[in-house]
Amino acid sequence: MRHKVAGRGLGRNTNHRKALLRNLVTALFDHLKIETTVAKAKEARKLAEKVITLARKGDLAARRLALSHIPNKDMVRKLFIEVAPKIERTSGYLRVVKTRFRSGDNSDMAILEFVDYDVLKGAVAAPKAETEEKPKKKKAKEPKAPKAEKASKTAKPKRTAKAAEEKDKDKK
């Protein structure tokens, strides 16, 4: 009996489960939206919302606590600098939207995304757009001239038995 046992085991041991959830949350902060199973999404949401709350505080202690949950400096930096300042909510930053049943094992799949996904996607993509150069116009393809045949030695045909006999007769 599982009386007063919180959380989902996800069929993994503790270290594997922690690594899985850290990787899911890291992918979420990187892409702002991920698709996974419903159970994994609900567990990852718990961890991600705690880290987002720390990011909204923004101080050094909060950053160190966030790094203890997700030991990826680049993702924590992105979360604290780019994502958290755009969030105006006090809680409920993420949503789990059930999408389909996975072919193969028929598992319930869900999308875990930020509630303000459109705002964040535009805000995170805007700095990248400023640094990009304008794409160069592509020139219309001109038809290529046919390749000149090689003036190298032509391959000699293989001698067949019949051709060898005829050559021998000619020599005699």
CA neighbours within 13 Å on the CB side: how many for 111? 10
Query: Residue 122: what pLDDT?
Result: 79
Chunk the chain into consecutive blocks of 10 residues (it has 172) and report each block's average pLDDT, rounded to whole numbers: 89 94 94 95 95 94 95 92 90 94 95 88 64 59 61 60 70 65
Spatial CA neighbour of 33 closest among 95, 109, 98, 84: 95
**Which residues, in sequence order, are bridge partners of residue 102?**
none
Could you tell me the domains of the chain? 14-129 (3.90.1030.10)
Instruction: Please state, in angstroms and rounded to a whole number, the distance separating the CA atoms of residues 17 and 25.
Output: 12
Q: Quickly list H helices, 32-158.
A: 38-57, 60-69, 73-78, 117-131
Cα 156 to chain centroid, rounded: 55
Query: Residue 105: what pLDDT?
Result: 94
Query: Residue 132: what pLDDT?
Result: 57
Query: Residue 145: what pLDDT?
Result: 63
CA neighbours within 13 Å on the CB side: how many for 123? 15
